[in-house]
Structure 1
Amino acid sequence: MPQAQALKKSLRKQLAAPTTTIAICLLGVLGGIAAALVIVVFRFAIEQGAYVVGNFTHWQQPLPTFTRFALPIGAVVVIFLLFSLSRSRRVRMGIPYVVHRMKQHYGMLPWRSTVNQFFGGIIALVAGFSVGREGPAVHLGAAASTWVGYHVDTPKNAIRTLAACGIAAAIAASFNTPIAAMVLVMEVVLREYKVHIFIPVMLAAVAGSLITEQIFGPASELAMLQASEVPNIQLGWVVALGIVLGFSGVIFKRLMLDVMETVKDMGLITRLLFAGLITAFLAIIIPTSLGPGLTAIQQVLQHQNELSILFTLLFAKLIASAVALGMGIPGGLIGAVFGIGAVVAALFTSIVNSLQLDQLLQYDTFILLGMAGILAASIHAPMAALLAIVELSRSVEIIIPAMLVIVPAYLISSQLFNSKSIFISQLDLQDLPYQIPPVAIALQKTGVEHVMESDFKLLIEPTQNELLDVLENSANQTVVVMDIDDDNRASYRLVTYDIGAGDSPSLNYMPITGLKVTSTLAEVWDELSGARRGAVYIYDHGQSEPCGVVTWEVVRKALQRELS
């Protein structure tokens, strides 16, 4: 047992450092495996649920009329009962909520919201709501990985890294896109690039991709699309498509946010029933409106050059996706915009090809470009959009045209319309804080155990003469006094010489508070920044006495290093 405790402390001390260590890499792989396994179960449940409801073609053939109408309504009733049973005060899930928790709570997610996300996501996708599975995947991946870290007593700075690992592994396990998964974590969730985080995230993404390949095979989600090289003469059309996609992304975002704004004061059951009823009526009128966004691609391929059908499909997907996501159906946004982008690109290609050019635009290639462009315009993550399409298509020939479609789409959204990422806009509407001061960002990366003074002097109710002797002989050591009150409770004070007392040996006593050994320097800053002096003591779980001390001077020096 003592050896196990010593090993645990050694591991925790390594994890507290803001550097790439073997410990964080191994833990990242473990967290990635846990996240990937959860996603495997999630995917299996969706597939089996489809067969249970009789959806053997996965939305490629219309279900009976009554089934199409009843599925969304029945699903929202079950989702509401699930949310009610979990007794969650507020139902918040998906990528925006994970971004909020990463910034405010080191990526740790409440178990109730995770249970809601797991079962709610399965029900929504089985019922045919026009949402993606990447939103639930991000939430579930972060929850699974941080659960691993929490149960091995990991410092909070490492918990945050583990959350990023879980997200990368979950996305890689969902779509077999490990590179795009890594970049999405850095661009969308963390919104920063740090090597000491990037390495374990990379390993976790590899673990997620390998697991999904072993279980589901190496096939890509977009295997039906065959990308080919775009001739230079057609690159102007690529840029034109990017402009169209920029406007399309802004329109979809505005539509979805308007829905959110309209229903934000409604009760949960009212919102869910509206979403179910609108989806059900759409399903009767336009059966192809059912299903996640990626299923729209197969519909597009079946109806090439049929403009009336493609326009109808675009209308259906815009409304169905905006309603489902805006009213709180527990699904993802990226899959939905992929479907919309594919339909927009199919329409663009069909219209241009009707002009009877010397070289017709290649249908499959432009659909892939449509997905890349609208993703960049919607979530403002151009690198993630580029790599996602390259990996999903298994084609390097698409890189240059994808860049040319992403740039105008992104610029129109961000510059012409001064639009934020759709995830950030969702956070603003939900009043969820996602911005923290640069000081907190810098100090969150370091655990207190990495910098705390372990060789301090702890004296229990000493006399003044004893204190003077210790201060005289302790050189640069910190001296802490412990007092016991009448209720047998301990309190601690930092003791220093009172510099303003002149030649007389007067002492200065300053009460200090305690923080857990898993805390970060950001929490020490919160305690001490008001007075700009003093210290906090650090305590381990299950121990009554301090195991370390962190002074204001230590925090100040650490901040200088991080910001330099």
Structure 2
Amino acid sequence: MIGIASGFAALFFRKGIEALQAFLYGTDDVSQLRTFAESLPCYWVLIIPIIGGLIVGIILDRMTPDARAQGPADVIEGAALHEGRVNIKSGIASALSSFITLSSGGSTGREGPVVHMAAVISSWVSNRIKADGITGRDLLGCAVAAAVSASFNAPIAGALFALEVVLRHFAVHAFAPIVIASAAGTVINRLEFGDVTEFMLPMESTLAFYQELPAFLILGAVCGIVAVSLMWTIFWADDMSTHVVDQFKIKRWMRPMISGALLGLMAIWFPHIIGVGYETTSDALTGQLLLHEAIVFVILKIIAVAITLAGRMGGGVFSPALMLGALTGLAFGLIATPIFPDFSGSITLYALAGMGGVAAAVLGAPISTTLIVFELTGDWQTGVAVMVTVSISTALGSRLVDGSYFLTQLERRNIHVAKGPQAYLLAMFNVTRVMKPIDPERGATEEACWQKIEQDIYLGAGATLEQAMPIFDATNIAFIPVVRLKGGGEAPELLGALHQVDALKAYNRALAATAAEEHS
């Protein structure tokens, strides 16, 4: 049932974007939106994203605590730290903002918002049935798998994406329900669109000789650099945008509108940046672009995505990564094949491999991304080239960021999911859950506690074991007083004492439970 609901959510989201795009831009064929936008008046191309940004800003300002559209990073955080739940109110606001962003010229993708929408559905169900952490995470994986499958008509990749990226384990107990939900999501897609691939390649791409494989190793390194450039640019733009907003005291609801104005100005001359960009991706995969066009579009798309996300507009990074990868691969092929014509296959093969290379490095998901590329194109004969490219790009990209775009997002918020359960589990335990009352028999007398407080060795009631453990390591003391701070110069209220042995026991039990879930 969650698979069906998530599949319909993905379908309605896609159809809704297409309908609103068709209305705003006045075209009957949104798949050719870029071409049609070239004939529109300049003022119309400019004003649409400005209005869209204004609406997005108002929605996020009133419905979210930080005026930020949530996405897959928040889903990963929900799986790791919140028993498979995401915030439902913020999720609804994020879906609306992403819907408006993608319909009005924002240069992002629809898959990230769809993943988060599916997580909202599973969170609502988990709350209703009062699911425990394991069940909540499994249901979350089911929803994500179905959403990805319904978006791409890719049931295998959808199931593996949920396991590889969101749950971050391949436990057997989670496999069956996730696969069933993924299949359900695919059925929803095929009932509407049929059993067709997203992109149609002009011919079967084959490797000319095995001697060509070293070229794909080089392409993998290039794709890794492009992927890291995209991620670094997004983070730099976000920091700069935040600095400007704070410096000039700009209202937070105006931030998306300013980004919309910048996007509109770019789109007047380069309508390729509008929306998901599947038309340009298709042109790259079919070899219909020139070398200088492919290179210029890579640069422009990176800038457009950074502007969109730095403006806190909605949308994801997967579709932009596919577009950048296809353009990068095409440019590489246009350069490489004339140099070694006797050992070169089709130029479009490089575009196909590049599409997987950049996307895998951005998502940190080499397995599911490789399968998504196969299922998007229906070309299974070139698997070796794609796998080689993906492996190199992912290896390089993961060393220059914290694993992936999503995990780096979380790391920038001081959520250490990238480092594994041993890092983030400590943040799940509030010290008030683990502390004990004042106990003279264990040495934690009131006098001893106040002596430590006077030495500035104490923990506030809102602290977690993540703050406590470094203090134990640095001081080698047996316990730390826990206090509730009061304002107005009043003395703090002594609540109890956190003993090092109790903290270690709680941490060890959490590690054991996580290991048991991942290997069940």
TM-score range, shorter chain: 0.7 to 0.9
Q: Return the alpha-carbon distance in structure 2 between the equivalents of residues 244 and 558 of structure 1.
A: 41
TM-score, length of structure 2 as denominator length:
0.76
**Paired residue for 2:101?**
124
Residues 253-308 of structure 1: per-residue CA shift (max 9 Å, x gap) = 21111112222353533431332122111101212222214332134367735223
Aligned match of 1:413 in 392, 397, 403?
397
* Secondary structure class of the residue paired with 1:331: coil
Assess, with a 3 A threshold, how the Cα gap between structure 1 residues 103 and 73 changes in structure 2: closer, same or farther: same
Shift of 1:419: 5.2
* Structure 2 residue 411 is the aligned partner of structure 1 residue 428: yes
Q: Return the alpha-carbon distance in structure 2 between the equivalents of residues 557 and 149 of structure 1.
A: 23
* Structure 2 residue 362 is the aligned partner of structure 1 residue 384: no
Q: Return the alpha-carbon distance in structure 2 between the equivalents of residues 531 and 262 of structure 1.
A: 42
**Paired residue for 2:217?**
239
* Structure 2 residue 369 is the aligned partner of structure 1 residue 369: no
CA contact (8 A) 1:293 1:338 kept: no
**Paired residue for 2:313?**
329
The residue type equivalent to 1:331 in the other structure is G
Shift of 1:234: 2.0
**Paired residue for 2:86?**
109
**Paired residue for 1:44?**
15
Q: Return the alpha-carbon distance in structure 2 between the equivalents of residues 347 and 93 of structure 1.
A: 33
Q: Return the alpha-carbon distance in structure 1 between the equivalents of residues 226 and 290 of structure 2.
A: 20
**Paired residue for 2:252?**
268
Quick check: which has more Rg, 1 or 2?
1
CA contact (8 A) 2:108 2:305 kept: yes
Aligned length: 434
Query: What is the correspondence of 1:458-473 to structure 2 with a 5 Å cutoff?
Result: none
Assess, with a 3 A threshold, how the Cα gap between structure 1 residues 78 and 400 changes in structure 2: closer, same or farther: same
Shift of 1:530: 5.9
* Structure 2 residue 242 is the aligned partner of structure 1 residue 258: no
Residues 358-388 of structure 1: per-residue CA shift (max 9 Å, x gap) = 3554133221111111122222221122111
**Paired residue for 2:493?**
none
**Paired residue for 1:474?**
none
Q: Return the alpha-carbon distance in structure 2 between the equivalents of residues 424 and 119 of structure 1.
A: 24
Residues 476-502 of structure 1: per-residue CA shift (max 9 Å, x gap) = xxxxxxxxxxxxxxxxxxxxxxxxxxx
* Secondary structure class of the residue paired with 1:61: helix
Assess, with a 3 A threshold, how the Cα gap between structure 1 residues 200 and 355 changes in structure 2: closer, same or farther: same
CA contact (8 A) 1:169 1:208 kept: yes
* Secondary structure class of the residue paired with 1:358: helix
* Structure 2 residue 173 is the aligned partner of structure 1 residue 196: yes
**Paired residue for 1:282?**
266
* Secondary structure class of the residue paired with 2:339: coil
Identity value in percent: 25
Larger mean Cα displacement after TM superposition, 92-101 or 304-313: 304-313
Q: Return the alpha-carbon distance in structure 2 between the equivalents of residues 530 and 391 of structure 1.
A: 54
* Structure 2 residue 6 is the aligned partner of structure 1 residue 35: yes
Shift of 1:336: 0.8
**Paired residue for 2:191?**
214
Q: Return the alpha-carbon distance in structure 1 between the equivalents of residues 355 and 511 of structure 2.
A: 47
* Structure 2 residue 275 is the aligned partner of structure 1 residue 291: yes
Shift of 1:79: 0.8
CA contact (8 A) 1:227 1:393 kept: no
The residue type equivalent to 2:330 in the other structure is A
CA contact (8 A) 2:57 2:254 kept: no
Shift of 1:560: 11
CA contact (8 A) 2:197 2:377 kept: yes
Return the structure number with greater helix share: 2
Q: Return the alpha-carbon distance in structure 2 between the equivalents of residues 430 and 226 of structure 1.
A: 46
**Paired residue for 2:117?**
140
Shift of 1:174: 0.8
Shift of 1:62: 3.6
The residue type equivalent to 1:426 in the other structure is Q
CA contact (8 A) 1:325 1:333 kept: no
Shift of 1:87: 5.3
Assess, with a 3 A threshold, how the Cα gap between structure 1 residues 92 and 310 changes in structure 2: closer, same or farther: closer
The residue type equivalent to 2:170 in the other structure is Y
TM-score, length of structure 1 as denominator length:
0.70
Shift of 1:343: 0.8
Assess, with a 3 A threshold, how the Cα gap between structure 1 residues 385 and 136 changes in structure 2: closer, same or farther: same
Query: What is the correspondence of 1:547-558 to structure 2 with a 5 Å cutoff?
Result: none
Give unpaired runs (5+ residues) of structure 1.
Answer: 1-29, 445-527, 534-551
**Paired residue for 1:57?**
29
* Structure 2 residue 282 is the aligned partner of structure 1 residue 311: no
Shift of 1:95: 0.7
Shift of 1:210: 1.0
* Secondary structure class of the residue paired with 1:562: helix
RMSD value over aligned CA atoms? 3.1
Residues 25-76 of structure 1: per-residue CA shift (max 9 Å, x gap) = xxxxx21112112112211211211221114332231421222111111110
CA contact (8 A) 2:6 2:143 kept: yes
Q: Return the alpha-carbon distance in structure 1 between the equivalents of residues 213 and 342 of structure 2.
A: 14
**Paired residue for 1:76?**
53
Shift of 1:224: 4.3
Assess, with a 3 A threshold, how the Cα gap between structure 1 residues 364 and 148 changes in structure 2: closer, same or farther: same
CA contact (8 A) 2:416 2:424 kept: no
**Paired residue for 1:467?**
none
Shift of 1:440: 8.7
**Paired residue for 1:177?**
154
